[in-house]
Amino acid sequence: MIQFECRLLRGLLGFICLLPLCISAAPDLCGPLKTVRESLNSTLRRRYMKMNFPINYTIQVHYEEVFRLRNISRLNTSTEDEPVQKRDLQDLWLLVSQQGIKRVLRVLPERHPTRRKYLSNLENLFRDFGALYNQRNPSEERDHPESIQNIWDRLTDPYYQGWKSVTPKSLLDNCYRTMLCLFKECFSNEDDNYDYCEVLNWRKGKKTT
């Protein structure tokens, strides 16, 4: 009996010792996201995504790549049988953000200052964050609701012809605002009373846009 209790105690102690390792195996997303936020600040967006381009310069993107706060609100109020979860919207945000950066990079010459000094680094930050995000949230574990899957299919369809003209800066403006809305747990300590998902708050200029 005593030997059994000793083995049980050793097993319990072993589990307790391994528990911190199991917890630490899940990557922290807030640190990398805050680094992304620093690179998306309004000064850098204005300098590299507006001032380095001709006046009124636009690029062609898919309709679904214009991902705004109102899109999040619309998807959250969907009446379909399977409700949209925050994870679904985060998946979509990551895909749209990475594709938007690639859209701009495709039109930039290799020696363009926006490419060399800003956008290539931002692409790497998103790639690193995406690797951690996918490690923490394996995509094969679940299916998206129909409304999200329909958008996802159009975004990844090479023959889809739904195009829209937008300024390069607007893509990163949308990326920044929707990031704060969808990952607000990473930024809420900075201002617990501020609703990042409320469109009117941004229009009032209460936050850096």
Domains annotated on the chain, with CATH: 29-189 (1.20.1250.80)
Query: In a 3-state reduction of DSSP, which class is residue 39?
Result: helix
Instruction: Give me the phi and psi of 163, to 5 degrees please.
Output: -110, 155
pLDDT reported for residue 190 = 54
DSSP string, the chain: -HHHHHHHHHHHHHHHHHHHHHHHHS--SHHHHHHHHHHT-HHHHHIIIIITS-TT--EEEEGGG---HHHHHHHHT--SSSPPPHHHHHHHHHHHHHHHHHHHHHHS-TT-HHIIIIIHHHHHHHHHHHHHHHHHS-GGG----HHHHHHHHHHT-TT---EEEE-HHHHHHHHHHHHHHHTGGGTGGG-TT--TT-HHHHHTT-S--
pLDDT computed for residue 144 by the predictor: 86
Low-confidence ranges of the chain (pLDDT < 50): 4-6, 8-9, 11-26
Cβ within 8 Å of residue 119, ≥6 positions away: 48, 101, 104, 105, 108
**pLDDT reported for residue 16:** 42
pTM: 0.81
pLDDT at position 31: 93
How far, CA to CA in Å, does 84 sit from each of 73, 79, 101?
11, 10, 25
- Per-residue pLDDT at 187: 84
Q: Count Cβ atoms below 10 Å from residue 177 Cβ, excluding itself.
A: 22
- Over residues 59-80, the pLDDT tens digits come to 999 999 999 999 999 998 876 6
pLDDT at 32: 94
